[in-house]
C-alpha cells in the first residue's frame, strides 16, 4: 500500500491491514451504514470493541486477573503528573534515563519528594543504570522501560520492593514482560499500537486503594477503572485501531513471535552499524534498544551525515533523522516495521560505504 520505509519514532508505522481495516470502519462501521467516527461510544458495537481490546491485551501480555486495563485521552505526558497525583504522598523514586524520565520527574515534584535513585545522565544517557538500591519507604518506583530518544532499553523486568510503575510508551507489546512485577504500566498508544490521542494503562487493582489525595474526577485512576474507560467519551478511533493492532499481533503469533522478529531486525541493523566503517552505535551494547536504533557517522566521516541522509531519503527511507537533542540517525523499528525495510536500510548503508570509505 505505502511504498516507503517508515522509521518514524512516533506517531509511527502501523500494520497495513490495520490501516485498511480502520479506513473501512471509517467508511462503514460493522455494516451499520455509519462511520466509526460518528457513532455513539455507548452502543453495543462499541462495547464489543472495548471488550475485544481488553481480552486481546490480557491474552497477549499475559495480564493477571487482578489487573485492570483502561484508556484515557491525552498522552504519556498526561500520565507523568497523574501517576504522581494519584500515588505520590510523601516520596517516590525515579530512575533518570533520559528526556522522558526527566519530564516525569519534573511533574512528580509538584506532588512530593522525588528521589532520583539512579541516572545515566553522566554519560549522556547511553546506558541503563543497574544494581541501584531501592529504599523500602517509597510510595513507588518509576522507570522508563525504553528510551525512545537515546535508544536504550531495559531487557529485564527489575525486582522492586515498592510498587513499580513503568512508562512503556515505546516498547509495549514488543517483548514479553512479567506484568506481575509491575504495579502499573502505561504509555502513549502512538508508538506501537494506534494513532495519537490515547493512553493505555494496566494497573494492579490494589493500587486504587493507595490513591493518596482527593483528585479531580478525570485525574483519578479510580474513575477510569470503575467506569471501564467510559466515564466520559473515550478516544473512540485510537481505541478501535489499537484493537485492530492487537488482533494483528495475535494473528502473527503474539508477543513471543514479535519479539523474535524484533530481535532479528535489530540484529541486522546493529550488525551493520558495527561492521560498516562509516557508522558507529551510540549506546552500550547490552542496553541497546530493539525499538529505536541510534547511530552516527564514525570518526573521520562526520561531515558525510547530510549526504547519507539525502542518499537514504532518495531510496525511500523516512524518519531516520536522530532526535534534535542527540543528532545523527535513529531508525525506529517498531512491531509493524517489516524486516524488508531494515534490509533496505542496511543495503543503503552498504552501498553508501562502497563509494565513501577512505
Ligand X SMILES: *Cc1c(COP(=O)(O)O)cnc(C)c1O
As beta bridge partners, residue 186 has 167, 201
* Exposed / middle / buried, residue 255 (Cβ in 10 Å: 0-12, 13-18, 19+): buried
Near ligand X in 292-351, by CB under 6 A: none
Q: Which of 54, 100, 248, 287 is catalytic?
A: 100
Number of residues located near ligand X, criterion CB under 6 A: 12
CB atoms within 10 A of CB 139: 23
Tell me the window of 21-29, 165-173, 201-209, 210-218 that interacts with ligand X (CB under 6 A).
165-173
Measured from the CB atom, is 139 or 171 closer to ligand X? 171
Q: Which residues contact 33 (CB under 8 A, 6 or more apart)?
A: none
Is 287 a residue that touches ligand X (CB under 6 A)? no
Near ligand X in 7-66, by CB under 6 A: 10
Q: Which residues contact 41 (CB under 8 A, 6 or more apart)?
A: 230, 233, 234, 236
Smallest distance, ligand X to C-beta of residue 230, A: 21
Query: By the 8 A CB rule, do 18 and 213 touch?
Result: no
Tell me the window of 40-48, 64-72, 75-83, 245-253 that interacts with ligand X (CB under 6 A).
75-83
Q: Which residues contact 314 (CB under 8 A, 6 or more apart)?
A: none
Determine which residue in the list 57, 71, 100, 237 makes contact with ligand X, applying CB under 6 A: 100
Smallest distance, ligand X to C-beta of residue 118, A: 17
Determine which residue in the list 13, 76, 88, 266 makes contact with ligand X, applying CB under 6 A: 76
Distance CA 194, CA 278 (A): 35
Residue 287 annotated to the active site: no
Q: Which of 68, 102, 191, 321 is catalytic?
A: 191
Q: Which residues contact 176 (CB under 8 A, 6 or more apart)?
A: 62, 255, 256, 259
Residue 191 annotated to the active site: yes
Tell me the window of 31-39, 70-78, 259-267, 282-290 that interacts with ligand X (CB under 6 A).
70-78
Residue 28 annotated to the active site: no
Cell (9 digits) for 110:
509538584
Smallest distance, ligand X to C-beta of residue 218, A: 16
Nearest in space to 320 (alpha carbons), one of 289, 298, 341: 341
Near ligand X in 175-194, by CB under 6 A: 188, 191
Determine which residue in the list 86, 119, 120, 169 makes contact with ligand X, applying CB under 6 A: 169
The catalytic residue positions are 100, 167, 191
Amino acid at each position: 500500500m505505502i511504498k516507503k520505509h517508515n522509521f518514524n519514532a512516533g506517531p509511527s508505522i502501523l500494520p497495513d491491514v490495520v490501516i485498511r481495516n480502520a479506513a473501512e470502519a471509517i467508511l462503514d462501521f460493522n455494516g451499520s451504514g455509519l462511520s466509526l467516527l460518528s457513532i455513539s461510544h455507548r452502543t453495543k458495537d462499541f462495547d464489543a470493541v472495548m471488550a475485544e481490546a481488553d481480552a486481546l491485551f490480557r491474552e497477549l501480555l499475559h495480564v493477571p486477573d487482578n489487573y485492570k486495563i483502561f484508556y484515557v485521552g491525552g498522552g504519556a505526558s498526561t500520565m507523568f503528573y497523574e501517576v504522581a497525583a494519584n500515588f505520590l504522598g510523601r516520596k517516590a523514586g525515579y530512575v533518570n534515563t533520559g528526556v522522558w524520565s526527566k519530564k516525569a520527574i519534573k511533574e512528580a515534584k509538584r506532588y512530593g519528594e522525588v528521589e532520583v535513585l539512579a541516572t545515566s545522565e553522566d554519560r549522556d544517557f547511553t546506558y541503563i543504570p543497574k544494581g541501584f538500591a531501592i529504599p523500602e519507604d517509597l510510595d513507588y518506583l518509576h522507570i522508563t522501560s525504553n528510551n525512545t530518544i537515546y535508544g536504550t532499553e531495559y531487557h529485564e523486568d527489575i525486582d522492586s520492593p515498592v510498587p513499580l510503575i513503568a512508562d512503556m510508551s515505546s516498547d509495549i507489546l514488543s517483548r514479553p514482560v512479567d506484568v506481575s512485577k509491575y504495579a502499573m504500566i502505561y504509555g502513549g498508544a502512538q508508538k506501537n499500537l494506534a494513532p495519537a490521542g490515547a493512553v493505555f494503562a494496566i494497573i494492579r487493582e490494589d493500587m486504587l486503594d493507595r490513591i493518596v489525595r482527593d483528585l479531580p474526577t478525570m485525574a483519578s485512576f479510580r474513575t477510569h477503572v470503575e467506569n471501564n474507560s467510559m466515564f466520559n467519551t473515550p478516544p473512540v478511533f485510537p481505541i478501535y485501531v489499537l484493537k485492530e493492532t492487537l488482533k494483528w499481533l495475535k494473528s502473527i503469533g503474539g508477543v513471543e513471535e514479535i519479539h523474535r522478529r524484533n530481535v532479528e531486525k535489530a540484529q541486522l541493523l546493529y550488525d551493520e552499524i558495527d561492521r560498516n566503517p562509516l557508522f558507529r552505535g551510540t549506546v552500550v551494547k547490552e542496553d541497546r534498544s530493539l525499538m529505536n536504533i541510534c547511530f552516527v557517522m564514525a570518526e573521520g566521516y562526520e561531515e558525510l551525515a547530510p549526504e547519507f541522509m539525502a542518499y537514504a531519503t532518495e531510496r525511500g527511507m523516512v524518519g531516520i533523522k536522530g532526535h534534535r537533542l542527540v543528532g545523527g540517525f535513529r531508525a525506529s523499528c517498531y512491531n509493524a516495521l517489516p524486516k524488508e525495510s531494515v534490509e533496505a536500510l542496511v543495503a543503503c548503508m552498504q552501498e553508501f560505504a562502497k563509494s565513501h570509505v577512505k
